[in-house]
Homo-oligomer: A and B are copies of this chain.
Amino acid sequence: MITITHSAGQYPIHFTSLTQALQSLPQDAVVLTDENVFTAWKGQLSQVPNVCRIEPGEGSKSFERYREVLSWMAKSGCSRRTTLVALGGGVIGDLGGFCAASYMRGIPFVQIPTTLLAQVDSSVGGKVGIDLPEGKNLVGAFYPPHAVHVPSEALSTLPDRQLRNGMAEVWKYGYILDAPLVDCLTRTDVRDDLQPIVQRCIQLKAEVVEADEFEKLGIRAKLNFGHTVGHAIEQVLRYEEFLHGEAIAIGMVVEARLGESMRITAPGTASVIEAQLKTAGLPTTWSGLQNPDPLIAAMRRDKKAHSGQLAFSLLTQIGECKLVENVAEGEVRSALLNS
């Protein structure tokens, strides 16, 4: 178990099985999940009386779905004391978390992340929210869960592409905070035993979010390495073609190149990262980078940007990074065109 401390208390992260996680829930808990997860875990879920199933995919982090889930909660008689459980990947966790944060001004919330991406990233740290047509995660809250249950067996049914998707964030933790983790990832086939990797990533994230819960000190923003470009790619593609981790993989290569050209990142880092991510089966470039304008426009709407000034989490070397604000547009344009 890992415990996360935040401004209003603490919450535990349990490493457990799905069956155990479901058994530990309060009797009147309601579960939000998607059709895919529901199909995969139908047996276990048959004991839960109130399950709300939505369509899988980033498209469900929408206002329409947010409103539907809230109406479903009201119609199901959810009170202030009802626990909402988000069982699924990052979309379910983010959407469910924002529903829990705002329904009756906040009800108990439990995360059971079933994808590698959600386990190592979105289920920890209390960030919840939905997308606007104007940008990803533009609406949401900092709302720590009451507990996170990380079910290891969930990863066994995950398609390969979804595993690689999560691995992109695992590599990111190594690049920004933990050079030994990068070494480990290059030397072994981590899929044989993901559990220690998941725990290491959660530990790394826990330390960062405890130091800067509300993303005000420039510490938490470091986790955004690859994300300024990655989010922009996702937005330009309307969340089609690439999964989040895939867009972030491309973003990490571009941002490593940007860091090198700005003399912030050690020379040669971008090529190393590019080769490692390629070997990991992740995309490292995209033809749309040759059309920088819409990407830069999206970056100016990034939450790290102030008054439209571009901001990036850039590596100094593998295992270390820092937040860099007011990056010149020309630098970003070159990095995109050279990637």
22 A/B residue pairs, CB under 8 Å, sorted by A: A28-B307, A70-B139, A74-B135, A74-B138, A74-B301, A77-B301, A77-B308, A79-B307, A80-B303, A81-B306, A101-B141, A102-B102, A102-B140, A103-B138, A104-B138, A104-B139, A104-B140, A104-B303, A105-B140, A105-B303, A106-B141, A106-B214
Q: A79-B303, A81-B306, A98-B102 are in contact. List 7 more A-B contacts (CB 8 A).
A: A7-B7, A28-B307, A71-B133, A74-B132, A75-B134, A80-B306, A106-B141
CB nearest neighbor in B for A126: B105
Q: Distance in Å from the Cβ of A265 to the closest Cβ of chain B? A: 26
CB nearest neighbor in B for A142: B105
Whole-angstrom CA separation of A7 from B28 in the bound complex: 29
CB under 8 Å from chain B, chain A span 109-155: 127, 129, 132-135, 137-142
CB under 8 Å from chain B, chain A span 253-301: 301
Whole-angstrom CA separation of A79 from B309 in the bound complex: 10
The number of chain A residues touching the other chain, given as a range, is 35 or more
Name A residues whose Cβ lies closer than 8 Å to a Cβ of B: 7-8, 28, 63, 67, 70-71, 74-75, 77, 79-81, 98, 101-106, 127, 129, 132-135, 137-142, 214-215, 301, 303, 305-308
Q: Across the interface, which residues of B come within 8 angstroms of A140, CB to CB?
A: 102, 104-105
Q: Distance in Å from the Cβ of A158 to the closest Cβ of chain B? A: 28
Q: Distance in Å from the Cβ of A168 to the closest Cβ of chain B? A: 23
- Whether A74 and B134, one on each chain, are in contact in the complex, defined by CB atoms closer than 8 angstroms, is yes
Q: Across the interface, which residues of B come within 8 angstroms of A79, CB to CB?
A: 303, 305-307
CB nearest neighbor in B for A134: B74
Whole-angstrom CA separation of A73 from B214 in the bound complex: 20
Q: Across the interface, which residues of B come within 8 angstroms of A303, CB to CB?
A: 79-80, 104-105
Q: Across the interface, which residues of B come within 8 angstroms of A129, CB to CB?
A: 102, 105
Q: Across the interface, which residues of B come within 8 angstroms of A139, CB to CB?
A: 70, 102-104
- Whether B132 and A70, one on each chain, are in contact in the complex, defined by CB atoms closer than 8 angstroms, is yes
Q: Across the interface, which residues of B come within 8 angstroms of A215, CB to CB?
A: 105
